[in-house]
Chain A
Amino acid sequence: MLELITFIVLSVVALVAAVMVITRRNAVHSAIWLVVTLFAVGGIFLLQRAEFLFAVQIILYVGGITVLFLFVVMLVDIDVTLKQARFARQWQLALVTAVLVVAQLGYALYNHGQGLKLPDRPPGSAPALNTQAVGMALYQNYMLPVEIASVLLLVAMVGAVIMAKRKLE
């Protein structure tokens, strides 16, 4: 029961903060609300006993990516955008598309009144030590993807430096 109440509170916080992210005029306010959403999603990871992912969410998303966002908001001129229209001209068309997405997701989840049909749960129990299990998986079964991800991060770092450089020689 307590678990369910925690889940409901966290989801309401996440959804309301997400709506605030996409409706605020000031990009700094949007970034702050994004932090609230990310914290709530991190809480939902913790509720599902994914402790390692919770730590990654807080350190990388809240501590890294959002700070990067705030840093760039400071670099670009914010006073001009405060006086301009928030939504693009095609917003009616965009809303129709969004309603279609909702209808499609709702239809798939409703599934002729049967609800979501998942395959049977495998027997046995989940790994007791989450961080240890994730580490084992990362460095044994997913060795090659980890290496590819590290190359991707190197490419992203070089790309970001080149993009933000003042002039290419």
Chain B
Amino acid sequence: MIPTEYYIFLGSGLFTIGVIGVLTRRNVLIILMSIELILNAVNINLVALSQYFKSVDGQVFAIFVITDAAAEAAVGLGLIIALFRNKETVNADEIDLLKW
């Protein structure tokens, strides 16, 4: 039996890597991939605590998180295609129409 803390440490590490990716990368596609990393870190914590409390509620929430990730990826990638068609770029810092 592995202590629950280990899973939470792993979740924190993966979450931090995802946050660094979202903040530092320019490519919008890789920013979306980093968001997937963050959601996976959350899922690790949900499953670990659901095992700790001996109930499946956390796993049901993890399934809803995966549903959200699928919806977010579909809409986000559709947005990237529309953006690339209009501005010919996938770099986050070149998308500055609302900046003045």
Contact = CB atoms under 8 A, between A and B. Distances in A.
B17 A109 contact: no
Contact of A159 (B14, B24, B75, B92): B75
Contacts of A95: 20, 24
Contacts of A134: 56, 59-60, 63
Given A50-B47, A57-B66, A134-B63, A121 B53 contact: yes
Pairs A-B, 9 closest by C-beta atoms: A163-B78, A94-B23, A22-B21, A156-B71, A160-B78, A160-B74, A18-B17, A126-B54, A72-B77
Interface of B: 1-2, 4-10, 12-21, 23-27, 29-30, 32-34, 36-37, 40, 43-44, 47-48, 50-57, 59-60, 62-64, 66-75, 77-82, 84-85, 88-93
Interface of A: 3-4, 7, 11, 14-15, 18-19, 21-22, 24, 27, 30-31, 34, 37-38, 41, 44-45, 47-50, 52-53, 56-57, 60-61, 64-65, 68-69, 71-73, 75-77, 80-81, 84-91, 94-95, 97-98, 101-102, 105, 109, 115-116, 118, 121-122, 124-127, 130, 133-134, 137-138, 141-142, 145, 149, 152-153, 155-157, 159-164, 166
